[in-house]
Structure 1
Amino acid sequence: MTRMLHVFVILSLLALGSGEEGARLLASKSLLNRYAVEGRDLTLQYSIYNVGSSAALEVELSDDSFPPEDFGIVSGMLNVKWDRIAPASNVSHTVVLRPLKAGYFNFTSATVSYLVQEGGQVVVKAVKVLSESKHLQSIVMCWKLKCPLLPFLQVGYSSAPGQGGILAQREFDRRFSPHYLDWAAFGVMTLPSIGIPLLLWYSSKRKYDSPKSKKN
């Protein structure tokens, strides 16, 4: 029991010590279009920021939230890798999709995995636990160990745009199209009802307003 506790405490403190240094990535996923429309391009942007103290290695961004039966890929990839992201720097990636169906869709998070450490040393606080007789007595001894940093895999998630609606092409055109053809057709249909009375009025006006010839 004591040995298990000893191992558990040491491993916990090693994890805490390793967390003091290393890469730390923050990722965002955003839609650049104001409206998502069936059959029209939909642009997504992924941004990754390294707010840690060392470079992130073998960074991989993966987004499996777009079923191929619902979205087609116009340009870009939904799975992309970077060899290294330096501290206090960022990278961006853009993907253009095309929704194939109208309706509501839940835009969920993308997955980001990376190796946290890159060389150097980390300060680890170690605790030694001793047992005397039948009762567990702890003698805590803290000191600093200089251990080489071992890279370990970290997995995180980006922000999620959330649920949004994908408009049907006809509905989008009805709401936002300038309707040039509709206005042209309306003008052609209303032209006779306005033009014919106008021509009759103008002809009558010319007839009655013409100066009478003077008799000699």
Structure 2
Amino acid sequence: MKFSLFALLFVVVSCVDVGTQTRDAFILAHKQPLSTYAVENMDFVLEYGLYNVGDKPAQKVTIDDRHSFPTNSFDIVKGLLFVHFEQIPAGSNVTHSVVIRPRAFGFFNYTAAQVTYYTDNENHHVTLTNTPGEGYIYRQREYDRRFAPKYTYFLVFFLIVAPTTLGSFLLFQQSKARFPNVIKKKST
């Protein structure tokens, strides 16, 4: 009985003609920070990815993320937060990167970017990217203290240790000069 139900289900599923089914353009979008840390007055890189998984091209595609990064809190170093693509063919993808610079430190909520596009039959679609969520923008001084190279600390350590090491070496050299090596002769 189970085998006959399974065989019947298989026949029904395989008889469906998927060639006649067409899907309009369908955009999947993501927003991803490429920089590990967001630091005030340092560059922060974001990447937007659009993937058309539909069978038809998407027309007049726009990405709008101006509301996520207001100009009173962020400087736009390179790229645009409002981008327009005339067409994204079926089964292809587009990426766009933006470099921004935070002006202040503290917690910040990264919201989703809005993506709008039209299908062949002029249906207007609106979708959102994923939301990275709340992140912390480090203070420049705190970031340098935690992550920057510690060359100055090593230089200070060397300056503190050098006199005692150099003094010990000079005393050793004086002692060595005062007491020459006595070579013992082997008796045969």
Q: Which interval holds the TM-score relative to the shorter structure?
A: 0.7 to 0.9
Q: Distance in 2 between matches of 1:185 and 1:103?
A: 32
TM-score by length of 2: 0.79
**Runs of at least 4 residues off by over 2 Å:** 208-211
Tell me, in whole angstroms, the C-alpha distance in 2 between the residues paired with 1:106 and 1:151. Answer: 34
**TM-score for both structures, normalised by structure 1:** 0.70
CA distance in 2, matches of 1:61, 1:165: 24
Q: Which secondary structure state, in structure 2, belongs to the residue aligned with residue 209 of structure 1?
A: coil
Q: 1:189: Cα distance to partner? A: 2.3
Aligned to 2:172: 201
Q: For residues 35 and 209 of structure 1, what CA distance do their matches in structure 2 show? A: 62
Structure number with larger C-alpha Rg:
1
Give the distance between the partners of 1:197 and 1:22, measured in 2 at CA.
82
Whole-angstrom CA distance in 2 between matches of 1:168 and 1:101: 8
The separation in 1 between residues aligned to 2:26 and 2:174, in whole angstroms, is 84
Deviation, 1:94, is 0.5
Letter in 2 for 1:34: T
- Work out which of the residue numbers 68, 73, 77 in structure 2 matches 1:74: 77
Overall identity of the aligned pairs, in %: 40
CA shift for structure 1 position 162: 1.2
**What is aligned with 1:49?**
51
User: Which residue in 1 is equivalent to 2:128?
Assistant: 157
Aligned residues: 161
* Distance (whole Å) between structure 2 residues aligned to residue 93 and residue 85 of structure 1: 13
Q: CA RMSD in A?
A: 1.8
Distance in structure 2 (CA, Å) of the matches to 1:84 and 1:39: 35
* Alignment pair present for 1:187 and 2:158: yes
Distance in 2 separating the partners of 1:39 and 1:31: 16
Give structure 2 stretches of 5+ with no counterpart: 1-21, 183-188
| 2:118 matched residue in structure 1 | 115
Paired with 2:96 and 2:181, the residues of 1 have a C-alpha distance of: 77
